[in-house]
């Protein structure tokens, strides 16, 4: 158990819909990262938040957005869903910014299926 | 971030040491070598990381060559539960995104 929790575990929805994925980081971790894993693209970084502020963006579509709340949990919002958005979505957390070597701890993921 | 090259697959007998190589010839001086693994579709699991020196923890050992252009992850006594995809990642550390390649699919055989 990494200490990172994600809900829901599974989500099935239709094209055009909007969903929200939730992540609670490990206690004390200030940074939250979102990754997408699809069969054809592998594990890809989407976005990072640190203490409520966006810090880095990866290959995140404009239809996707995220935020980190004052209690440090994060939500990833996916809208106008397409079949190609079907994937595993992982959240990870780490202690935070510093010029040091912090490992990331991953949650169990949310499996999104768009039909 | 520097790119890494790993063999796509490897096999190892249960109880033997599994040695997973990784090439990172363009690594820069402030970049760390991280190893993660993913068992089936679970979330990736951190294994170990290092900068210059060899490192060991309860899971594995990491051997980094003196020129830092390659490294080897060693699982000393592999078990069936070590069957997974292993990712070698080079990153500046701190709160940096991880760039995952294709990894090495390690199969431990009974």
Asked if B68 and B52 count as a contact pair (C-beta separation under 8 A), the reply is yes
User: Mean pLDDT lowest for which of A40-54, A58-72, B85-99?
Assistant: B85-99
3-state secondary structure of B13: strand
Q: What is the pLDDT of residue A101?
A: 66
Q: B41, A88: Cβ pair inside 8 Å? A: yes
Residue A9 neighbours by CB distance under 10 Å: 9
The distance of B110 to chain A (nearest Cα, Å) reads: 26
Q: What is the mean pLDDT of residues A80-107?
A: 87
3-state secondary structure of B80: helix
Burial class from Cβ neighbours inside 10 Å (0-12, 13-18, 19+) for residue B77 reads exposed
What's the 3-state SS for chain A?
Answer: CCCCEEECCEEEECCCCCEEEEEECCCCCCEEEEEEEECCCEEEEEEEEECCEEEEECCCCCCEEEEECCCCCEEEEECCCCHHHCEEEEEEEECCCCCCCCCCEECCCEEEEEC
Residue A46 contacts B, CB cutoff 8 Å: no
From CA B88, how far away is CA B2, in angstroms rounded? Answer: 11
Q: What is the mean pLDDT of residues B95-106?
A: 89
Task: Give which of B41, B95, B104 to mutate to test A binding, by max A Cβ within 10 Å.
Answer: B95
From CA A29, how far away is CA A59, in angstroms rounded? Answer: 23
> Would the pLDDT of A112 be above 60?
yes
Residue B26 neighbours by CB distance under 10 Å: 12
Asked if A55 and A32 count as a contact pair (C-beta separation under 8 A), the reply is no
Q: What is the mean pLDDT of residues B44-58?
A: 95
* B17 Cβ contact partners less than 8 Å away, ≥ 6 residues apart: B74, B75, B76, B77, B78
Average pLDDT, chain A: 93
Q: What is the pLDDT of residue B105?
A: 97
Please tell me which residue, A96 or A40, carries the higher pLDDT value. A40
> Would the pLDDT of A98 be above 70?
no
């Amino acid at each position: 158990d990494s200490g990172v929790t994600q809900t829901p575990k599974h989500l099935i929805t239709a094209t055009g819909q909007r969903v929200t994925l939730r992540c609670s980081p490990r206690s004390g971790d200030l940074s939250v990262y979102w990754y997408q894993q699809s069969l054809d693209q592998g594990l890809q970084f989407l976005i990072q938040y640190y203490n409520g502020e966006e810090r880095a963006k990866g290959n995140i579509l404009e239809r996707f957005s995220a935020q980190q709340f004052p209690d440090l949990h994060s939500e990833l919002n996916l809208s106008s869903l397409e079949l190609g958005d079907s994937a595993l979505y992982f959240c990870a957390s780490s202690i935070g910014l510093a010029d040091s070597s912090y490992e990331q701890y991953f949650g169990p993921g949310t499996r999104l299926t768009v039909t | 971030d520097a790119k890494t090259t790993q063999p796509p697959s490897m096999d190892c007998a249960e109880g033997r040491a599994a040695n997973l190589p990784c090439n990172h010839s363009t690594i820069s001086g402030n970049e760390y070598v991280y190893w993660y693994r993913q068992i089936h579709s679970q979330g990736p699991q951190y294994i170990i990381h290092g900068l210059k020196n060899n490192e060991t923890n309860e899971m594995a050992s990491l051997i980094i060559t003196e020129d830092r252009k390659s490294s080897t992850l060693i699982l000393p006594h592999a078990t069936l539960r070590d069957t997974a995809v292993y990712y070698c990642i080079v990153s500046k550390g701190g709160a940096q995104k991880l760039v995952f390649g294709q990894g090495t699919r390690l199969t431990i055989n009974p």
